[in-house]
Structure 1
Amino acid sequence: MALLPSLFGNQSVLDRMFDDLRRLQQQFEQAIGSGLPTPVFKADWRPAIDVKETAEGLTVTAELPGLTEQDVELSLEDDVLTIKGEKKAETTREEKGVHIQERSYGSFARSLQLPFAPKADAVQATFSKGVLTITLPRPPEAPKPSSRIEIKSG
């Protein structure tokens, strides 16, 4: 089993486990109501990522609300793109009267195994309004995305 999920394969075992834990926490919160204190899942924060493939390459979009480009680090090693950083808590003191704390803080690292190894000097990244957009051009020797083949009856 691969440690890194393929962009075009199944979700990794750890991703599914964390998704299950988040769903369980949401169901628990719904069952007891929003007026009571609830335990907070204290895992590192994990930003949502979209990946779009075209004939020209890949576009990776990551939601990073509350962060700036200085809070994020990108690296590329062969066909593995890594996005990492830290979302720092706004306060370090214990606040009185807090019953629910749903916002997550902490360090994160997302590594994506790409279907090709892009040239690092051709990769571009922009950050605007909490959204990181990474454009990874497909090198000329990289395989093109597959096409669907129609199956006819008869």
Structure 2
Amino acid sequence: MTLVKFKRPFGNLLRQDFFDMDDFFDSRMWKGGMMETDFWNGKTVEPAMNIKEAKDHFEIELAAPGFDKKDFNVTIEDGYLNISAEKKVAEEEEKENYSRREFRYNAFERAFELPENVKEEAIKARYNDGILRFKLLKKAEVEKKKPKVIEVG
């Protein structure tokens, strides 16, 4: 393991009077670091998630506060559970001497490869208190047949 010196994204801007512009643009923030992450480049950010396994089912919980049930799009395709959500909110206020326009946009996408032992037709989803929950029932396990030995004559 190699130890690498951590460079602050904004250099030592907060601790010194002189701002080193070269250090700022050569930092990790701009070269393959912070600016390459989803948060900075305009892509969506994935919500936090929990997966629990019980004897007869799986449970998936996604933290997605601020959405409505109608904002979600959930599909099963080629063995994947695809979850996406998008919400746009725009507000306008016109007064005599000013106008105010605000907007918000939230979106995310997640995909999960489903195990072979999940009943795709029985997947259920519900959204409550900012948490999107899925229950994935398992198929009954079928005992594998022992290989039959054939004697060569």
1:32–1:142: structure 2 CA closer, same or farther, 3 Å change rule?
farther
Q: Which residue of 2 aligns with 1:122?
A: 122
Q: Does residue 138 in structure 1 map to residue 138 in structure 2?
A: yes
Could you list the structure 1 runs, at least 4 aligned residues long, displaced by more than 6 angstroms after superposition. 92-95
TM-score by length of 1: 0.53
Bigger drift between 119-128 and 58-67 goes to 119-128
2:121 match: secondary structure? helix
Bigger drift between 75-84 and 114-123 goes to 114-123
Q: Which amino acid aligns with 2:48?
A: A
Task: Please show how residues 96-111 of structure 1 align to structure 2 within 5 Å.
Answer: 105-111=105-111
Q: Which runs of 5+ in 2 are unaligned?
A: 1-6, 15-34, 93-99, 144-153
Q: Per-residue deviation at 1:125? A: 0.9
1:88 match: secondary structure? strand
2:90 touches 2:101 (CA, 8 Å); kept in 1?
Answer: no
Quote the RMSD (CA, aligned, Å). Answer: 3.5
Partners in 1 of 2:124 and 2:87 — Cα distance?
Answer: 23
Q: Which runs of 5+ in 1 are unaligned?
A: 1-23, 34-38, 96-103, 144-154
Higher relative contact order (CA 8 A, sep 6+): 1
Q: Which amino acid aligns with 2:132?
A: L
Q: Which has the higher strand share?
A: 2
TM-score by length of 2: 0.54
Residue by residue over 1:38-68, the C-alpha shift from the partner in whole angstroms, topping out at 9 and shown as x without a partner, is: x961221321111111221210001111001
1:79 touches 1:117 (CA, 8 Å); kept in 2?
Answer: no
Q: Per-residue deviation at 1:109? A: 1.3
Aligned residues: 105
Q: Which amino acid aligns with 2:63?
A: E
Q: Does residue 74 in structure 1 map to residue 63 in structure 2?
A: no
Q: Which residue of 1 aligns with 2:57?
A: 57
Partners in 1 of 2:110 and 2:91 — Cα distance?
Answer: 25
2:50 match: secondary structure? strand
1:105–1:47: structure 2 CA closer, same or farther, 3 Å change rule?
farther
Q: Which has the higher helix share?
A: 1
Q: Per-residue deviation at 1:74? A: 1.1
Q: Per-residue deviation at 1:114? A: 2.4
Q: Per-residue deviation at 1:127? A: 0.6
Q: Per-residue deviation at 1:122? A: 1.3
